[in-house]
Structure 1
Amino acid sequence: MDISQYLEVFIDESKEHLQMCNEQLLELEKNPDNLEIVNVIFRSAHTLKGMSATMGYEDLANLTHQMENVLDGIRNNKIKVTSQILDVVFKSVDYLEEMIFSIAEGGSGKKDVSDVVALLKKIEKGESLEEDTATQSEVAGNVKTSTTKEASNYDEFELTVLQQSKEQGFHIYEIAISLREDCVLKAARVFMIFEVLEQVGEVIKTTPSVDMLEEENFDHQFKVSFISMELPEELKNRIMKVSEVDTVEINTISLENIAIPAENNEVAVTLEAVKEEETTLTPATIQKETNEQQKTTQAKGNVNNKTIRVSIERLDILMNLFEELVIDRGRLEQISRELTHTDLTETVERMSRISGDLQSIILNMRMVPVDTVFNRFPRMVRQLARDLNKKIDLQIIGAETELDRTVIDEIGDPLVHLIRNALDHGIETPEVRKAAGKSEEGTLILKAYHSGNHVFIEIQDNGAGINRDKVIGKAKKQGIISDSEANSLTDKQVYDLIFSSGFSTADKISDVSGRGVGLDVVKSTIETLGGSITIDSVEGEGSTFFIQLPLTLSIISVLLIELGQEKYGIPLSSIIETAIIKKSDILSAHNQRVINFRNKVIPLVFLEELFEVTPQDETSEYMSVVIVKKGDKIAGFVVDSFIGQQEVVLKSLGNYLSTVFAISGATILGDGQVALIIDCNSLIK
């Protein structure tokens, strides 16, 4: 029997079973005497074992079989649940995930699992694990270094940044720099080297950390992980021009073997009563094994819905075809208005209503619960809490909130970084919390909810909050702000400083955070998605990060405006209001043209000058202005005239025009003209 046709289904179902194991193991840790939880984990492991054996993945089947033996001992009261035993079972699930991801990427799924199998056998026999503490550490170490030597020093978020840079054509270098032994001002030389590097690329990480380099807390050598379009020889020549640099060694980092966990490439599309009998794509053996799990799912309240698996690529094709339909719909609407033919107008109106309903259905098909991102965090928080010797209560609210698949794919890594920061910087150790009159266990709340056409995600902790003076002190030390600016900053403006490139308030550098890399990338990623991030904090009580995201990215509402003979679109999500002002009302402040609008001084951006467009009428004493926002910053875009609001399909400009300033994409209007979509975020500083 040819089982290759079932591979896709096997991978998806395996990921679901492993996620179930992770979630239920966390529950078992809280309730070690609850045998029903053990039964749920046992059923998932048993199903996974049967599917693996059927598909011919022996390493998967053998490890799952051994894990199943331990779970069977627990549910029969032969083995008592302890944190050490759960650590080994968690490690087994980690190995299983690695093998599944290997299969998903076209690999064989083979892995040396003898170390963790030996531990599972000891547990099954009732032997003590005390003497195997070192062995378990080695197991953990094997997992961390199982990718490549280059990847061992990067966390998940940094690896993702490097991967995305590689995909965009950047070279990734690890640069080892030695200063001369007689170098006196080492920190100054490091600063000069960074200044040279940042002219042609971006520093991702330094070893030792940025703080340690600034405080000259290093010998004469340091390493820089760097992305750039420059060739190694050109980079070396640039660095060697800095005085007192002794040697420069540049190595290109290969990411070919780095295993960054891939997101599930398929979504389940819910259909109402597809047909009376549900069909399956899995072999009879797999179907028999999964029946029990399906019953468990149905018991949770999903008995009214039936699902089929549809490849995300097919949904993308469907969306692209519908986008073309939206363009033609706009063209037909314009023609019917011009011809004023009654029958044509009625037909077009009916088609518009039907296509509007179709649009809602297609967009809903692409919507995925944020739980697909949130479900990775309980396990991560558990491990980080243990690494940091902290007690953490993670609460997840609104995991059923839905977002477009495109947004879901991008939001995972920023959330990982924010949660890691909250655990490391925000929540104190039990001793410190107790001394401050707090409970020893800190609370981390991850919350998602809809509001209008946006989804909001909050990451809230009841930790130490943000120390205003400490942030200002670091910002001044790093040259981000001056002494005069520091005195006039509001709390909100101070909190925003932590999103500056290279900024960190960490007193010591850890594996979790404090490297001065990440939060600026978090903000950039969220703004690229058309969203925003803000911070609210009370010192001693905790901090909350608010993330606002659009529901979807493909079809957006814009205000069409005219500049000379050209048409542009400004996303409605960025617009506060429109206004007509007199030219005589324009003032000048700090070499910037501004207006006093509703008792606020608002800087003006003349789009005609920016895009080098000939204005329509320079004699008029009035000007049209679109007031736009980016976070708490406001600006006014001066345009020739307003056309009106319209739903448009956002199309990429392609790789050759991907670096065009202030333009996020383009759309085709009803009359066939191309209108560029303005990127408001890049115009507001």
Structure 2
Amino acid sequence: MDDQYLDAFIRESEEAITDLNNSLLDLEADPDDQAAMDQIFRTAHTLKGNFGAMGFEDASDLAHAIEDLLDAMRQDEMAVTPERMDLIFAGVDTIEVIVREIESEGESTTDTAETVAQLRAVLEESDFDSESGGAPDPAALGSSDSAVDGDDGAAADGDDAPPVENFDVSADDAEGRVVRADVSVGEGDMLGVDAMLALDRITATFDLLDADPGREAVESGEFEDTFALALDAPDADAAAAELDAIGAVEDADVVDVTDALAGADDGGADESDAGDADGAGDGGGPDPAGDATPAAAGDDDGAHVDEIKSVRVDVDQLDDLHGLVEQLVTSRIKLRRAVETDDLAGASENLNELDKITANLQNTVMDMRLIPLKKVVGKFPRMVRDLSRELDKDVEFTIEGEDIELDRTILTEISDPLMHIIRNALDHGIEAPAEREAAGKDPTGQVELRASRERDHVIIEVEDDGAGLDVEGIERKAIEKGVRSSDEIEAMSDSAIYDLVFHPGFSTADEVTDTSGRGVGMDVVHDTVTQLDGSVSVDSEPGEGTTVSLRLPVTMAIVKVLFVEVGDEEYGVPLKNVDEITRTSAVKQINGNDVIKHNDDIYPVVDLAERFDVPGTHAAADAEGAETAATDGGEPADGDAAGAVASAGSDGATGAVDAAGAGGDEGMLVRIRESERQVALRCDQVNSQEEVVVKPLEGILSGTPGLSGTAVLGDGNIVHILDVVTL
């Protein structure tokens, strides 16, 4: 099997499963939601067809059984009940397991027989005819006043020749009798869809030998009033009874045509049409070896999102990419000729042209890597549904901003952290219904996931209206585990205490459960987000709920940085974080701490030489100079050339560096944007700005405070990139 087709099949199946789960949740919340029901049916039908086309018959049979049960609900033949929805969800889980097996092994070994049998058994229960509420009497079906009349079966024995001339089938093609059924599905607006539903139900019971017009034409609605089917059935009466029980069939005339076909001098049956039949959906007993157990709701992997291995690209982006590659090839040829002819002016011009082309190429490729957040969070509603049932809690889960886009790598990495946060909100945040009512709350808890874009960052918040964080419990656990001393705890603000939940191994759970309480989870969230050059914080109000906020870059890897020198070492500061560059003459002291003043706001000064213990630097001299400045109490002189503003990402940044010069013995200050962190960084001098490829820290260096990664420069030197939030 072609790997390309298999990969496309897997990705489409994954999306269909997510859509199916979410539509099923909508239907479960509102059984009268016809739009959800139609979407569910279309998705299940697509899954069935795709599995069949790829040759995975067991999965196709399972999707077919789910489709039939949903169709019975759609036709008001069966009620939407929690028990039936549980069975459908279990079937969908099994389909998901099959897709994962196909992806890893190329085939599936999961036996679907038991689940199919359970679905078929439920389907045979058909609750009611909607008028009387009573179950239809199968014995009476054959003698009903419907146009499907068993007496029509006698037509084969009459004088009139049965109409068989348009069927390419022989009597030998059937194990039983060949019957012709002229089927009507009414006069709806969606004739093809109605016919498709009828065919699917019919072929679940009988093998389809031929159709007039062909099956494809029938499912496209290309027929007038009725279409004819040649079916393999025990007899005409049995076929009439079964067709009468199918809600999608308005009426049908059934005739046994076996003898007529036997006497006709026709060729063999068109096996291709017979192959279109979906096979008899036998309602036989379950296979004792069958395993229909779905993925456990309490399993962490239940909502795990695998690495995103494909993206959908707009055709316009591909055209842009193709055009840029053409320009790149042309510019490369021109540059080579200029070098070969020693045309330095031409080479310089071509280099500038290449710089513009590669910048556009970079932007186009980075945009192509952006994927909507819903690719990850689409699976969360089902996880919340299963977990809240497991915990005996009522929870309403909503998502806002799922169309916000993030880089593929970032999106893959944050899927598990987001899942941990939501699980914690359900387990520790949301109270039991009785407890909520006793506190004057709605018994149904609320959990909301919100995403918004702020310049080149995305903010993702998970908010619940539960009990909030237990400050005293966190303090007690922190002291017990030796995370902080009692004196340190007393000096900490509530916000700082909340952040202790990110400490490795920290958990306030009294016992280990399948949901949480293992002492892992929130520390993983912190480490993962930090490695992505992001930040995470917690805000909570006792009795009112908790909000966990993740701040993440939209893209990563290629970053424009400002290079600063500290002694003999060089560091890179992401230019997007830089607001202004000044000389250290602006430094004053407040309570013994170095600070600078900007727009009436106080910015603490972080000395990079001291923070990273860089030997032989200006740190001692600057400290002495700062004390003198603090004694004099003088303000920095207005109009100092070093006070030029370096706007991140603008040409002004370069000008500021040039105006500042080397900085002399005073050193330089890089003031960070207030939106990132209200702080100024002290260094020896500020150099140039440049785009670099940032590699995250790995191994024992992973998660080092103040560092987000490293970059390799053109001369081969390695430079550390600063994380201004954790510095």
Could you tell me the TM-score, scaled by structure 1's length? Answer: 0.65
Matched residue, 1:455:
458
Distance 1:399 1:552, change over 3 A: same
Distance 2:411 2:527 in 1: 16
2:401 is aligned with 1:398: yes
Write out per-residue CA displacement over residues 174-193 of structure 1, whole angstroms, 9 at most, x where no aligned residue: xxxxxxxxxxxxxxxxxxxx
Matched residue, 2:667:
623
Matched residue, 1:78:
77
Distance 1:353 1:425 in 2: 52
Distance 1:57 1:457 in 2: 39
Distance 2:621 2:20 in 1: 68
The SS at the match of 1:558 is strand
2:561 is aligned with 1:562: no
2:199 is aligned with 1:156: no
Distance 1:380 1:23 in 2: 10
Matched residue, 1:678:
721
The SS at the match of 2:314 is strand
More displaced 10-residue stretch of structure 1: 624-633 or 507-516: 624-633
1:91 counterpart letter in structure 2: A
1:50 counterpart letter in structure 2: G
Matched residue, 2:685:
641
Q: How much has 1:423 moved relative to structure 2?
A: 0.9
1:514 counterpart letter in structure 2: G
1:439 counterpart letter in structure 2: D
Distance 1:491 1:122, change over 3 A: same
C-alpha contact (below 8 Å) 1:625/1:638 kept by paired residues: yes
The SS at the match of 2:361 is helix
Q: How much has 1:392 moved relative to structure 2?
A: 1.0
Q: How does 1:523-602 map to 2 (within 5 A)?
A: 523-564=526-567, 567-573=570-576, 575=578, 578-581=581-584, 595-598=594-597, 599=602, 602=605
Write out per-residue CA displacement over residues 337-389 of structure 1, whole angstroms, 9 at most, x where no aligned residue: xx9x9877766555544443332221111100001011011000101111111
Matched residue, 2:43:
44
C-alpha contact (below 8 Å) 2:564/2:684 kept by paired residues: yes
Q: How much has 1:12 moved relative to structure 2?
A: 1.6
The SS at the match of 1:267 is coil
Write out per-residue CA displacement over residues 61-93 of structure 1, whole angstroms, 9 at most, x where no aligned residue: 121121122112111222111011011101111
Distance 1:601 1:16 in 2: 49
C-alpha contact (below 8 Å) 1:582/1:622 kept by paired residues: yes
Distance 2:291 2:468 in 1: 32
The SS at the match of 2:52 is helix
Distance 2:308 2:587 in 1: 57
Matched residue, 1:441:
444
In the alignment, which of 247, 260, 267 is matched to residue 311 of structure 2? Answer: 267
Matched residue, 1:220:
none
C-alpha contact (below 8 Å) 1:59/1:110 kept by paired residues: no
Q: How does 1:8-23 map to 2 (within 5 A)?
A: 8-23=7-22
Matched residue, 1:361:
364
Q: How much has 1:525 moved relative to structure 2?
A: 0.6
Distance 1:463 1:652 in 2: 36
Distance 1:609 1:34, change over 3 A: closer
Matched residue, 1:106:
105
More displaced 10-residue stretch of structure 1: 533-542 or 661-670: 661-670
Distance 1:75 1:6 in 2: 32
C-alpha contact (below 8 Å) 2:308/2:408 kept by paired residues: no
C-alpha contact (below 8 Å) 1:465/1:541 kept by paired residues: yes
Distance 1:140 1:577, change over 3 A: farther
2:486 is aligned with 1:483: yes
2:313 counterpart letter in structure 1: V
Distance 1:579 1:477, change over 3 A: farther
Distance 1:261 1:587 in 2: 50
Distance 1:585 1:58, change over 3 A: same
Segments of structure 2 that go 5 or more residues without pairing to the other structure are: 128-285, 336-341, 623-663
Distance 1:482 1:264, change over 3 A: closer
Matched residue, 1:149:
none
Distance 1:576 1:514, change over 3 A: farther
2:300 counterpart letter in structure 1: D
1:394 counterpart letter in structure 2: F
2:101 counterpart letter in structure 1: S
Distance 1:411 1:10 in 2: 25
C-alpha contact (below 8 Å) 1:475/1:497 kept by paired residues: yes
Write out per-residue CA displacement over residues 503-535 of structure 1, whole angstroms, 9 at most, x where no aligned residue: 222244322112221111111110100000111
Distance 2:23 2:465 in 1: 26
Distance 1:616 1:474, change over 3 A: closer
In the alignment, which of 432, 441, 465 is matched to residue 429 of structure 1? Answer: 432
Segments of structure 1 that go 5 or more residues without pairing to the other structure are: 129-134, 146-151, 161-259, 276-314, 333-338
Could you tell me the TM-score, scaled by structure 2's length? Answer: 0.62
1:156 counterpart letter in structure 2: D
The SS at the match of 1:492 is helix
Distance 1:13 1:603, change over 3 A: closer
2:608 is aligned with 1:605: yes
Matched residue, 1:168:
none
Distance 1:578 1:156 in 2: 48
Distance 1:107 1:552 in 2: 33
Q: How does 1:109-124 map to 2 (within 5 A)?
A: 109-124=108-123
1:79 counterpart letter in structure 2: M
Q: How does 1:501-512 map to 2 (within 5 A)?
A: 501-512=504-515
C-alpha contact (below 8 Å) 1:561/1:567 kept by paired residues: yes
Distance 2:610 2:352 in 1: 35
Q: How much has 1:431 moved relative to structure 2?
A: 0.9
Q: How much has 1:28 moved relative to structure 2?
A: 0.7
Q: How much has 1:565 moved relative to structure 2?
A: 5.6
C-alpha contact (below 8 Å) 2:606/2:682 kept by paired residues: no
Matched residue, 1:94:
93
More displaced 10-residue stretch of structure 1: 520-529 or 479-488: 479-488
Q: How much has 1:393 moved relative to structure 2?
A: 1.2
Distance 1:660 1:512, change over 3 A: closer
Distance 1:57 1:433, change over 3 A: same
Q: Percent identity?
A: 36
2:556 counterpart letter in structure 1: L
Write out per-residue CA displacement over residues 128-180 of structure 1, whole angstroms, 9 at most, x where no aligned residue: 9xxxxxx9xx99994458xxxxxx997339xx9xxxxxxxxxxxxxxxxxxxx
Q: How does 1:281-296 map to 2 (within 5 A)?
A: none
Matched residue, 2:469:
466
2:501 is aligned with 1:498: yes
Q: How much has 1:9 moved relative to structure 2?
A: 1.7
Q: How much has 1:626 moved relative to structure 2?
A: 4.0
C-alpha contact (below 8 Å) 2:308/2:412 kept by paired residues: no
Distance 2:298 2:23 in 1: 31
C-alpha contact (below 8 Å) 1:663/1:678 kept by paired residues: yes
2:33 is aligned with 1:31: no
In the alignment, which of 380, 394, 397 is matched to residue 383 of structure 2? Answer: 380
The SS at the match of 2:312 is strand
Matched residue, 1:650:
694
The SS at the match of 2:607 is strand
Matched residue, 2:195:
none
C-alpha contact (below 8 Å) 1:608/1:614 kept by paired residues: no
Matched residue, 1:164:
none
Q: How much has 1:4 moved relative to structure 2?
A: 5.3
Q: Which has the higher strand share?
A: 1
Q: How much has 1:571 moved relative to structure 2?
A: 2.3
Distance 1:569 1:546 in 2: 26
2:425 is aligned with 1:407: no
Distance 1:613 1:156, change over 3 A: farther
Distance 2:676 2:313 in 1: 38
